[in-house]
Every structure is written in C-alpha cells, then in structure tokens.
Amino acid sequence: MNLTQTILQIISAALGKQNNSACDLHEVSNEIMRIIECADHKMEFPVRTANLTVARLALAVLWVDHTSEGMAFSILSYEEGTEPEISLDKVPLGRALASIYLPKSLRERIPLSSLHTILFNFFGQTSLFKTKNITKALTTYVVSASISDISIQNLADPVVITLQHVQGNRNYDQVRCAFWDFGNNNGQVLMDLSRSAVDAVNEWILVIITYIGYGISSIFPGSAIVTYLAFHKLRKDHPSKILNNLYTALLMLNLVFLVNSWSLSFQKAGLCITAAVALHYFLLVSLTWMGLEAVRMSSTSTFPIISLNFVWLVRIRIPAIMVAIILSVKKDLYGTLSSTTPFCWIKDVPIFYISVVAYFCLIFLMNLSMFCTVLAQLNSMESQSQKT
C-alpha cells in the first residue's frame, strides 16, 4: 500500500504540473492509466477493502465477496488540488459528485476458483484524457471501475454511473447511465459527460430576451380580452366565448411565467410549488382551449353531431384533474428545478413527459386531424360547386 500511495503521489504531482504549465502528458496517458490499474490490482492489503487518496486522485480496492449485496463507490466532496472524500456503500449516495454502482449479479458472474479484486478510480484532474490535437480538457470528473483479469458482459442488472456536473462552485444536472456490459478487454468502464455552462453575461442576455418576449406576448391576449369586454355583442355566441377563454388562459400563462423566478426570491417552498402548479395548470388550460376551438370549428361545418355542451363540459376540468392527481401523489414533484436553474416547474422528468409533452402531442394531433378534415370538406364543396 505504501508503494501504491507513492505512485499515486508522483502521478498527482505530474498532473498538477501539467495543469499549471505547458507540460503535456497525452503521449504517456495510456501508460499512466496502465500503471495505476496494474499497481492497484496487485496491491496487498490485510482487510477486505483498502482506500487511498491523494490530491486529484482517489481509489478503492476490495476483494470480490459473493455473499454481499451490490457495491457503490461514491465521491462525496472534492476541491481542486485536494484529496477527494470517498465512500464505499451498498447503495449510491444521493448527493455524490460521482458514483459507480456494481450490482450483486456482477459478482455472481465472477468465478469462485480464483481471487479477483474490484478497483474503483476517481480523477479530479481530467487532462489525462485529452487527445493529441485537442487542447481543451474534459469539463467533468472521471470515474472508472475494473475487475482484475476478467471481462463480464450481458449482466442481468445494470452497472449504474452517476455524475453530478460541476463548474467552480456551481452544481449542474445529475446524469445517470446504465450499462449491462462491464468492460471490453480488461473489464474497465470509463465515462465522462460534458455540459458547458452559459457564462453570466450571455445568461443575463437570454433572461432579458425571454422576459421581453413574454412581456410583448402578454399584450396581445390582453388587448383581445379588453376588446371582448368593451363590446357586448362579441360575447354572445359560443365561438367568441371559447376564444375569450383561450386568450385569458394565454395571458395568465404569460403572467405566471414572468413572476415564476421572482417567487423564488422569498425562499418559500410552498410559494415555489404554487407557482409551478399555476404554470402547469394554465399551460394545460391553454392547450385544452386550443383543442376545443378546433372541435368547435369542425363541429360547425363538418361534424354537427358534436354537441357544444361537450366543449363546456371539458373546458378546464381535464387540466385541473391532472394537476390534482400529481399533487395528491406527491406535492414535491413540483419545485425548483436545480440550484443553478432558478425556476419553479415539474421536477420529475417522467411526470413532465406524461402530463405536458404527451398532452401537447394529443392536442396537436387532434388539431391537425380537424384541420385536415375541414380542408377535405372545403375541397369537396369546391368540387361540388364546379360540377354544378
């Protein structure tokens, strides 16, 4: 273990020198990786596991044990140039910067006849992984896992790698990836996912453009509502009532969006949930009124059997029911997206796709079918007119 610790310190010093000068290690990076893996797998340690950490690097080695559950290697905290804080546990920790989870089924695939070790590595300095003609290094941490002298494929359960993207002191999205094949030749899995952050100036410009756009967009439905209120004759028939409700929903959608981020300044979780619920509700209401307007238009000329009472029956009840179901399941599904995205919205990705994307696709397909039906009916009427 002392020899391995010395090897890691030498490599860490080389990485630090590369980071602060024109020193280039890309020509020997594969050799460095081979040395780390070879030394770690041959390291002798008296107990079941061994952990070694130096500045920019960390590793954990353990003997394969077929009686235990899965094993997760997690990086709890790390700052540039310091020793990472690591953890070995049965399950991945929720707020880890990076982790690899090996399922129990992986151990069941390792022969009992010989002794094998599992090696976990963490690289806080990623310049080892840049290629010859690319000077920009990776912007996230790198984690790897390998098993000595064996390659495993077609696992029953996935190997899960989780990365918490960071830049400076800012946390980014957490990405989880699953693999059923553990390694190619030497059983090593190596992964890095990058997402460049928008700098402060461009982020501020995007915010200004967004708010100006939504502010202007609010003017037009507001003007339409005022027009309907000013002229009583416009509010008598069903079509105008549907349009008036559509304009109201669009206006409320724009206004709720504009105050969404502002509600976070009060640092009240309940207020953020309320803003997210209102935004979700008025978005669904707007889509619903768009769909009902299409039904109303087609029922006027093409499908007279469709009762307008149906339109008023479903006008805002469907969005309210959908939002109520989500709130009844778990209100925490609404809230702040992340520490770097100050916006109150649906936090659960599957719920977002089911309650927003799927609903939009349904309305879009319905409107498209109504549009095509009306066009076909008009074309038929034109052909009839030409014949006579």
Which range of 168-177, 243-252, 294-303 scores highest in mean pLDDT? It is 243-252
- Is the model's pLDDT at 217 over the cut of 70? yes
Sequence-distant (6+) residues with CB within 8 A of 235 are: 228, 229, 241, 244
**Fold match flag (2-191 vs 200-377):** no
For position 316, what pLDDT does the model report? 59
Sequence-distant (6+) residues with CB within 8 A of 131 are: 26
How many CB atoms lie under 10 A from the CB of residue 321?
12
- Is 192 or 211 the better-scoring residue by pLDDT? 211
**Can you give the residue ranges of every domain in the chain?**
2-191, 200-377
Q: Average pLDDT of 161-176?
A: 61
- Is the model's pLDDT at 265 over the cut of 70? yes
Q: Average pLDDT of 272-283?
A: 93
Taking all residues of the chain, what is their mean pLDDT, rounded to a whole number? 78
- Is the model's pLDDT at 341 over the cut of 70? no
Strands 57-63 and 142-147: unpaired
pLDDT band at 200 (very low <50, low <70, confident <90, very high): low
Element (H, E) at 49: strand 49-54
- Between the CA of residue 232 and those of 221, 228, 237, what are the distances in Å? 17, 7, 10
Six token digits for residue 374: 């009306």
Q: What percent of the chain shows pLDDT beyond 90?
A: 15
For position 22, what pLDDT does the model report? 47
- Is the model's pLDDT at 302 over the cut of 70? no
Sequence-distant (6+) residues with CB within 8 A of 83 are: 53, 54, 55, 58
pLDDT band at 275 (very low <50, low <70, confident <90, very high): very high
Q: Determine the 3-state secondary structure of 366 from DSSP.
A: helix
How many CB atoms lie under 10 A from the CB of residue 311?
19
Between 1.20.1070.10, 3.90.1010.10, 1.10.443.10, 3.20.20.80, what CATH number should domain 200-377 receive? 1.20.1070.10
pLDDT band at 249 (very low <50, low <70, confident <90, very high): very high
- Is the model's pLDDT at 27 over the cut of 80? no
Put the strands of the sheet holding 142-147 in their side by side order.
Answer: 49-54, 57-63, 117-123, 142-147, 189-191
Least confident of 2-6, 328-332, 345-349: 328-332
Rounded distance, CA 208 to CA 211, Å?
A: 5
Between 2.60.220, 1.10.3210, 2.60.120, 1.20.120, what CATH number should domain 2-191 receive? 2.60.220
Which range of 40-54, 101-115, 281-295, 338-352 scores highest in mean pLDDT? It is 281-295
Q: Average pLDDT of 231-250?
A: 83
- Is the model's pLDDT at 109 over the cut of 90? no
For position 367, what pLDDT does the model report? 92
